[in-house]
Amino acid sequence: MYNSKITGLGYYVPENVVTNDDLKEFMDTSDEWIQERTGIEERRWIDPKSGDTTAVMGFKASKIAIERSGLQKEDIDFIVFATLSPDMYFPGGGVQVQEMLDLPTIGALDIRNQCSGFIYAMSVADQFIKTGMYKNILVIGSENHSGGLDKSTRGRNVSVIFGDGAGAAVLSRSEEKGKGILSTHLHSEGKHAKELMLEGPSTSRWVPELIANNNPEDVSYYPYMNGQFVFKHAIGRFSEAIVEGLEANNLQKEDIDMLIPHQANLRIAQFIQQKFQLSDDKVYNNIMKYGNTTAASVIIALTEAWEKGKIKDNDLVVLAAFGSGFTWGSVIIRW
Q: Which of 3, 20, 115, 136 is catalytic?
A: 115
Q: Which of 113, 185, 262, 285 is catalytic?
A: 262
Q: Which amino acid type is present at position 148?
A: G
Comparing C-alpha atoms, which of 259, 307, 298, 265 is closest to residue 280? 259
Q: Which of 3, 136, 285, 292 is catalytic?
A: 292
Judge whether 286 counts as a catalytic residue: no
Judge whether 115 counts as a catalytic residue: yes
Judge whether 292 counts as a catalytic residue: yes
**Ramachandran area for residue 178 (φ above 0: left; ψ -120 to 50: alpha; else beta):** left
Q: What is the Cα–Cα distance from 52 to 299, expressed in whole angstroms?
A: 19
CB of 39 closer than 8 Å to CB of 287: yes
Catalytic site residues?
115, 262, 292
